[in-house]
Amino acid sequence: MARPRKPLLSRDRIVETASALVDAEGLSAVSTRRLAAELGVSGPSLYNHFRTKDEILDAVADAVSAKVDLSMFEEGDARDWRTALHDWAASYRAALADHPNIVPVLAQGPGRRPAGLRVADAVFGAMVRAGWPPAQATYIGALMRYFVTGSALGSFARGFVDDETAYDPADYPHLGQAHLLAEHRQKVDEGAFDTGLRALLDGLAMQYETEAREKRARQDS
């Protein structure tokens, strides 16, 4: 066969197929041979388009980052910083929840992934524009990512086992209902996420007020 006159592969087609495979069967199902088979080519062909398998997975992760809504951070948007942060976090979480198997890659940080960097850039810029000092704006981008990726990676309920015998009351006196969590997992995950997000935003608002008060005091003196 050798070289076809029209390329069989493209970066986009590889990423699409890899994404579908990750979603359907998990990260561990992605081997270069398996992915190539899915694409109708032989394993080494992929290396004409990506340098390593990790680069392919990075591209899959970045495609998820690209789906995160950033419109609330645009200059003209009417939302205040707190609402913007809330809406962004919700969109971020929804994007990860749609593709939970790739979250371990995403959670490591943006690295060189363009969409991941775009997210970091947008939130930092918007927080500075809203009056946060640059150092605090950096912290906010980081801590929000901690929380959102942590929640997507370690889905609380999925992290417990659906097996009553796993939780001996002698060992874990308070976990009597833990095996039920798998049942309610969606409710628990949502409740924990909403509670945590509200707490974070309430707490940040308090710090913002404190800073504003101090700034006014400095100007008055």
Partner DNA sequence: ACCTGAACACCGTTCAAGT
Closest CA to 197 of 87, 86, 105, 107: 86
3-state secondary structure of 221: coil
Residue closer to DNA, measured from CB, 48 or 177: 48
Q: Identify the DSSP state of 128.
A: H
Is 15 or 141 the residue whose CB approaches a second copy more closely?
A: 141
Choose among a second copy, DNA, none what residue 218 binds, the Cβ cut-off being 5 to 8 Å by kind. Answer: none
CB of 31 to DNA, least distance (A): 3
| In contact, 14 and 52? CB cutoff 8 Å | no
| Residue 193 binds which entry of DNA, a second copy, none, CB below 5-8 Å type-dependent | a second copy
Binding site for a second copy (CB under 8 A): 104, 107-112, 114, 117-118, 120-122, 124-125, 128, 135-136, 138-143, 145-151, 153-156, 158-161, 166-167, 171-175, 178, 181, 188-189, 191-193, 195-196, 198-204, 206-207
- Structure-block tokens of residue 13: 């087609």
Instruction: Decide if 64 contacts 95 (C-beta within 8 A).
Output: yes
Q: Could you give the CA distance from residue 60 to residue 101 in angstroms, rounded to a whole number?
A: 11
* Residue 31 binds which of a second copy, DNA, none (CB < 5-8 A, kind-dependent): DNA
- Residues 39-58 vs DNA: string with x where CB under 7 A? --xxxxx-xxx-xxxx----
Residue 115 interacts, among DNA, a second copy, none and using kind-specific CB cut-offs from 5 to 8 Å, with none
- Binding residues for DNA restricted to 5-24, rule: CB under 7 A: 7-9
Q: Are 140 and 197 in contact (CB under 8 A)?
A: no
111 interacts with DNA by CB under 7 A:
no
Task: Give CA–CA dist 48/2, Å, rounded.
Answer: 13
Nearer to DNA, 25 or 163 (CB): 25
Judged by DSSP in three states, 100 sits in helix
**Three-state DSSP string of 168-206:** CCCCCCCCCCHHHCCCCHHHHHHHHHHHHHHHHHHHHHH
- Between 102 and 204, CB nearer to a second copy: 204
Can you give the binding site for DNA, defined by CB under 7 A?
1-4, 7-9, 30-34, 36, 41-45, 47-49, 51-54
